[in-house]
């Protein structure tokens, strides 16, 4: 990414032509931003991530990379919330107006959305999390949420095989009995308001933390791990289990 004060499209195209002529490598202009927000890396908040950002293009549209909107396993409600949050935040014509006016409006919208989640009145269909079952249920040593949901489906005589997409909802994340923490989406009647409230605040912080926003402003305590980090941790453990399972299969063949 390059930046130049008061530059126009002609300036950037000229730069790309010059780079191409001097290096011999083909180069093109992907996007021209009116303003851009570079988000910090999770590993080191002091470093901006080149693949995690959002901004407003000169044609007025919004472009983003590396945020929850790009993930297929996030609930519809959270994706819609994040998209609306971006629309509010980037409605301003200039970067100065974003910090002067739009951040406050975005925080107000986050609070309104949080109240909707806590009311318990959201449709279950908006809160579904989808994950692929990558191995037979019997081979899982860890009770991941989608595995718990798959076990419940099997108990209800539903066929669940590797490669199937398992849709589930958090119904009571604090339950001692893990089988009661989640439910298959097709039978879930209620949802865990606190769990989804925390997930919404994760999404809000991913967009607004760069402007100083924290969930503590809305009366919530900081969490050691976000929902995204939970998903990434589960995926890492699942990969290790797959490798162990494959090693076992190889030994059996030998």
How far is it, in rounded angstroms, from Cα 66 to Cα 166? 24
Q: How far apart are CA 122 and CA 195, in angstroms?
A: 13
pLDDT tens, position by position, 174-202: 889 999 999 999 999 999 999 999 999 99
Mean pLDDT, the chain, whole residue set: 88
Residues 195-247 pLDDT 10s: 999 999 999 999 999 999 999 999 888 876 777 677 777 777 777 777 776 55
Extents of the domains making up the chain: 124-192+225-248
Contact between residue 2 and residue 50 where contact means Cβ atoms under 8 Å apart: no
Residue 45 confidence (pLDDT): 56
Query: Closest Cα to residue 208, out of 118, 73, 116, 108?
Result: 108
Cβ 202 vs Cβ 226: under 8 Å: yes
Query: What pLDDT is recorded for position 159?
Result: 92
% the chain with pLDDT above 70: 91
Please state the pTM of the whole predicted model.
0.83
What pLDDT does residue 49 have? 62
In angstroms, how far is CA 177 from the centroid of its own chain?
A: 27
Give 52-77 pLDDT, tens digit per residue: 899 999 999 999 988 888 777 889 99
CATH class of 124-192+225-248: alpha beta
pLDDT of 248 above 80: no
pLDDT tens-digit readout, 157-177? 999 999 999 999 999 988 899
Question: Strands 182-184 and 165-170: what pairing?
Answer: antiparallel
């Amino acid at each position: 990414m390059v930046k130049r004060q008061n530059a126009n499209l002609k300036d950037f195209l000229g730069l790309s032509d010059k780079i191409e002529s001097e290096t011999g490598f083909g180069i093109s202009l992907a996007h021209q931003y009116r303003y851009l927000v570079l988000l910090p890396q999770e590993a080191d908040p002091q470093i901006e991530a080149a693949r995690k950002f959002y901004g407003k293009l000169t044609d007025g549209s919004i472009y983003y990379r590396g945020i929850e909107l790009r993930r297929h396993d996030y609930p519809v409600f959270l994706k819609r919330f994040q998209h609306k949050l971006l629309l509010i935040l980037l409605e301003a014509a200039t970067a100065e107006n974003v910090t002067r006016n739009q951040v406050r409006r975005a925080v107000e919208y986050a609070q309104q959305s949080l109240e909707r989640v806590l009311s318990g009145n959201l449709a279950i269909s908006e809160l579904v999390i989808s994950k692929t079952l990558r191995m037979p249920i019997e081979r899982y040593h860890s009770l991941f949420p989608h595995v718990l949901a798959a076990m419940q489906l099997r108990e209800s005589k539903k066929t669940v095989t590797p490669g199937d997409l398992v849709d589930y909802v958090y119904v009571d994340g604090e339950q001692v009995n893990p089988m009661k923490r989640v439910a298959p989406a097709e039978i879930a009647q209620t949802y865990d308001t606190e769990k989804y409230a925390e997930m919404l605040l994760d999404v809000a912080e991913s967009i607004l933390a760069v402007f100083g926003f924290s969930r503590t402003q809305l009366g919530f305590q900081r969490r050691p791990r976000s929902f995204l980090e939970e998903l990434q941790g589960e995926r890492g453990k699942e990969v290790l289990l797959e490798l162990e399972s494959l090693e076992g299969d190889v030994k059996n063949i030998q």
